[in-house]
Structure 1
Amino acid sequence: MQADALTVNWPELLSSADPSSGQAVADRENTGDTGDTGDTGDSGDTEEFPWTLVANLPYNTAVALIMGVLADAPMVQRMVVMVQSEVADRLVAGPGGRTIGIPSIRLAWFARAELLATVPPEVFIPRPRVTSALVGITRREPPSRIVSESELMALVARAYSQRRKMLRSTLGKAVSVAAFEAAGIAGTSRPEELDVVAWARLTEAVNANPVEVAPEALL
């Protein structure tokens, strides 16, 4: 679905929803209902068919809720969520910009995210001071079956702890020169230049080309 082709009857869709309330909209026959708890635990025979989760998520918990569903609720194959635009930008961010970060990479491990539409403040009563956005999230196969999500994210977190520095500086003790070369990634690159596929290549290369530890370092 392209954002410029989306036509939405906002009053009908949103009714009295408040963008800060986290109220969920759900068709219980084939849609997950987030309710008030955000619980992603066992729901019986939910894996017999794919779920689509539709929800209006609050700013301060939106990313955590989305990541929780992706990691712990495999029956949810697609999400359409309304979040504040600032959050939406981080969720759909690609390499090369300032908005890409740890949430962008972790989401991309599990799924593909796309901006479906912006939601103007005037469709809400009372009118908020922020613009919201609809984000579509579609689950997909991870970019690697050799390394785990936790291995990849440990490397990503280390790099983004000092995102302005080159990877050879922040990852030098964990990533060998051979690993950078095997992954086809320059040590002079910065974290925001890499997408999840590149991070997967680098993590695989790290496992295949471990850093050699000098004997005196083990004493």
Structure 2
Amino acid sequence: MPERLRPTLAEAIARHGLDARKSLGQHFLLDPSITGRIAALPGPLEGRHVVEVGPGPGGLTRALLDAGAASVTAIEVDPRAAALIGELAAGEDGRLRLIEADATRLDLAGLTGTPRQVVANLPYNVGTPLLVGWLRQAALWERLTLMFQLEVAERICAAPDTDAYGRLAVLAQWVCTTDIVLRVPPGAFVPPPKVWSAVVRLTPREKQPDPVLFGAMERLTAAAFGQRRKMLRGALAGLGGEALLERAGIDPRRRAETLSVAEFERLAGCLVS
């Protein structure tokens, strides 16, 4: 539906009494110039089926529809926001579908056709676990375009031997190319968070690990970075320690943050072989 035929965001928010709730990690993005930019970041959306988690009042939802997405499936746990999105969906000729549920409990890839993408301003309190779940099934997604707190975005894209490099960087960069494509100041949100936010674009690699290898990588990175100040022979003692490291050709005196993603992949391969 063209924007001029919809209630304005301000009208919709007022009618539904929708204020952002800290308990739900909500910070609403209402500026149409910014939501429009975010909707353009995944590339052309014509023919794509988009999943949006935490649409709130629907600012980004409107931008995704206006960008030409074949469909938008909005997942919203807040009944106040769900009522607003449901009202918006009634005027969108079936292109917008609302699912009122907790996104962490859903198989989101099973909700829509292909090619499928996620584009979302993620609630702060569930962004990281949602991302890890999507990485486990990266082959099912064409692209993930996700807004996080800037600190989390930097952790996803961090290089080895930096303070931000850790488990999230290894998992994300192993199965996707990752780029910070937009930084957003606190003042763009209502209410303003205390920190900057950033949009990360993740594009799954052509070759993806099988579930067994991905599970091994999850265990490996959890152990390695769970005691990141220890040498790897100590941090990985429960997974084979020095014997595992020697099989992978990695000095057991090194620490987790010094290993490249390729070296972690080699270790994970040894763990399952």
Q: Quick one: structure 1 residues 78 and 162, their matched pair in 2 at CA, closer, same or farther if it must change by over 3 Å?
A: same
Using the size of structure 1 for normalisation, the TM-score is: 0.73
2:244 is the alignment partner of 1:184: no
Q: Quick one: structure 1 residues 128 and 205, their matched pair in 2 at CA, closer, same or farther if it must change by over 3 Å?
A: closer
* Equivalent residue number for residue 211 of structure 1: none
Counterpart of 1:71, as a letter, is R
- Which one is further off, 164-173 or 139-148? 139-148
2:185 is the alignment partner of 1:120: yes
Match of 1:29 among 52, 61, 69: 69
* Equivalent residue number for residue 13 of structure 1: 34
Paired residues in the alignment total: 192
Using the size of structure 2 for normalisation, the TM-score is: 0.60
Match of 1:43 among 105, 111, 117: 111
Give the C-alpha shift of residue 145 in structure 1. 6.2
**SS of equivalent residue, structure 1 residue 33:** strand
Give the C-alpha shift of residue 196 in structure 1. 2.5
Give the C-alpha shift of residue 74 in structure 1. 4.0
2:122 is the alignment partner of 1:57: yes
2:234 is the alignment partner of 1:169: yes
Preserved contact between residue 179 and residue 202 of structure 1 (Cα < 8 Å): yes
Q: Aligned partners of 2:141 and 2:211: how far apart in 1?
A: 24
**SS of equivalent residue, structure 2 residue 177:** strand
Q: Aligned partners of 2:133 and 2:229: how far apart in 1?
A: 28
Give the C-alpha shift of residue 13 in structure 1. 3.2
Give the C-alpha shift of residue 197 in structure 1. 1.6
Q: Quick one: structure 1 residues 124 and 157, their matched pair in 2 at CA, closer, same or farther if it must change by over 3 Å?
A: closer
Give the C-alpha shift of residue 43 in structure 1. 2.1
Q: Quick one: structure 1 residues 68 and 146, their matched pair in 2 at CA, closer, same or farther if it must change by over 3 Å?
A: closer
Preserved contact between residue 121 and residue 132 of structure 1 (Cα < 8 Å): yes
* Equivalent residue number for residue 213 of structure 1: none
Unaligned runs of 5+ in 1: 1-9, 16-20, 209-219
Q: Aligned partners of 2:138 and 2:174: how far apart in 1?
A: 15
Q: Quick one: structure 1 residues 194 and 93, their matched pair in 2 at CA, closer, same or farther if it must change by over 3 Å?
A: same
Counterpart of 1:13, as a letter, is I
- Which one is further off, 189-198 or 116-125? 116-125
Q: Quick one: structure 1 residues 32 and 155, their matched pair in 2 at CA, closer, same or farther if it must change by over 3 Å?
A: farther
Preserved contact between residue 143 and residue 200 of structure 1 (Cα < 8 Å): no
CA distances 1:196-219 after superposition (whole Å, capped 9, x unpaired) = 2211111223455xxxxxxxxxxx
Match of 1:66 among 128, 131, 147: 131
Q: Aligned partners of 1:131 and 1:187: how far apart in 2?
A: 38
Give the C-alpha shift of residue 182 in structure 1. 3.9
Q: Aligned partners of 1:193 and 1:147: how far apart in 2?
A: 25
Q: Aligned partners of 1:146 and 1:82: how far apart in 2?
A: 26
Q: Larger % of helix: which?
A: 2
Q: Aligned partners of 1:160 and 1:50: how far apart in 2?
A: 34
**SS of equivalent residue, structure 1 residue 99:** coil
Q: Aligned partners of 2:71 and 2:253: how far apart in 1?
A: 45
2:127 is the alignment partner of 1:86: no
CA distances 1:52-103 after superposition (whole Å, capped 9, x unpaired) = 2211011110011122233247432201111111111121122111212222
Give the C-alpha shift of residue 30 in structure 1. 4.3
Counterpart of 2:110, as a letter, is D
Preserved contact between residue 180 and residue 201 of structure 2 (Cα < 8 Å): yes
Q: Aligned partners of 1:124 and 1:69: how far apart in 2?
A: 26
Q: Aligned partners of 2:120 and 2:133: how far apart in 1?
A: 14
